[in-house]
Structure 1
Amino acid sequence: MDFQTLLPYFISLIPAIIVGVIAYLFFKKHTENEESRRNFLISKEAQATSLPLRLQAFERIALFLERIDPNSLLIRVKPRDSNLSNYETELINSIEKEFEHNLTQQIYLSAESWNAVKTSKNATIQLIRQTSMNEKVETSDKLREAILNHFMGNITPSQKALTLIKAEIVKLF
């Protein structure tokens, strides 16, 4: 067989090849669109499920920050006696217990927000320890008074962290 006899067969195959390539490209594009749509629906469903969990975590962290705020902590944890060391330990233990109770919430917060929460906790503990080492502070009542006076008119570490948490919540919507 020579080329002249095969030429009509090749010419008749060209439209079939073109139709085949077009069909392949069409089905490839259609498959990509369907996969993209499916991924979008899955992510939308996951967000609908995770958003309430994240908001609940933010609520728990906000409650934690409010509970360790020196103004509310000193009202909630009252001294049992006038022993300064016992009261200092009681305040710090209360903060640590609250923190451990809310430790799992970090998976729903950004790293920046979680660091702000930890910094707030540590700053509050540090302030309690520093204030208790002051020579003028001799009793648990004087410790309470000194801490409250320190934050009179100042922003507490908890309030700073809470501001950051609220800003992150706004970003969710």
Structure 2
Amino acid sequence: MTGLIEYLPYAFALIIAIPFLVLLRQFVYSYINLKNQELKLLGVKSNSENKTHSYERMTLFLDRIKPSNLIQKFDKDLAVHEFIYLTERSITEEFEYNASQQLYITKNSWKNIADSKTAVIELLHKTYSSMSDNATLSDFKTVFLMNYMGENDYVSETIEDLRKEIILIA
């Protein structure tokens, strides 16, 4: 019996420590779960921000390739073929610069953006081939705008589709 009395303080300490250790374990486990949830939310938020940023960049790109904005670019003293070359190069470079945005945009929207880019470039060439060789840049720009206005406004439609998609995402 005297042997058991010697171990009594240890048993008492053990009885007090076990509930404390169980509570500590539950606290640490809950804390880790909350931190994991926080990291997941930050990941979702970051992804959502990337998508929003992508839609903004591609809307800006589409706005820049609208013929009404394209005709204001570059020097007025250029020849028509120089204007077409510089405009096409500018559109292509900006499109390639933004190519990584397709990771965050739906396939359909990306296809519409690429189709809009291609259609504007084709309209530039179609307008040029329909004009006489001695046409001025001012004449070209006027005919280019008229041709665009005579067709379906595919750039604005693509921008509107992007607006609808971003509303669904947000």
TM-score (norm 1): 0.69
Equivalent residues in 2 for 1:1-173 (5 A)?
41=37, 43-81=40-78, 83-136=79-132, 138-152=135-149, 155-173=152-170
Distance in 1 (alpha carbons) for counterparts of 2:159 and 2:66: 10
Provide structure 2 residue ranges, at least 5 long, that are not aligned to the other structure: 1-29
RMSD: 2.3
Higher relative contact order (CA 8 A, sep 6+): 2
Q: In structure 1, how many angstroms separate the alpha carbons of the residues matched to 2:149 and 2:159? A: 18
One-letter amino acid matched to 1:144:
K
Is the contact between residue 116 and residue 164 of structure 1 (CA under 8 Å) also seen in structure 2?
A: no
What's the CA shift for 1:157? 2.4
Read off the aligned partner of 1:163 and give its amino acid letter.
Answer: E
Provide the C-alpha distance between the structure 2 equivalents of 1:155 and 1:162, rounded to a whole number of angstroms.
13
The count of corresponding residues between Structure 1 and Structure 2 is 136
In 1, Cα distance between the equivalents of 2:108 and 2:75? 33
Q: Deviations over 1:45-91 (max 9, x none)?
A: 3211211111111111111001111111111334432x221111111
Which amino acid is the alignment partner of residue 145 of structure 1?
T
Alpha-carbon distance in structure 1 between the residues aligned to 2:131 and 2:68:
22
Q: Choose 91-100 or 117-126, whichever is displaced more.
A: 91-100
Output the amino acid matched with 2:49.
Answer: P
CA contact (8 A) 2:67 2:145 kept: yes
Quick one: percent identity of the two aligned structures?
24
CA shift, 1:43, in A, is: 4.7
- Runs (4+) of structure 1 exceeding 4 A deviation are none
Tell me the secondary structure at the aligned position of residue 75 of structure 1. Answer: coil
Paired amino acid for 1:114: W
TM-score by length of 2: 0.70
Q: Distance in 1 between matches of 2:81 and 2:143?
A: 15
| Structure 1 residues without counterparts, runs of 5 or longer | 1-33
CA positional deviation for 1:166? 0.8
Q: Distance in 1 between matches of 2:105 and 2:74?
A: 28
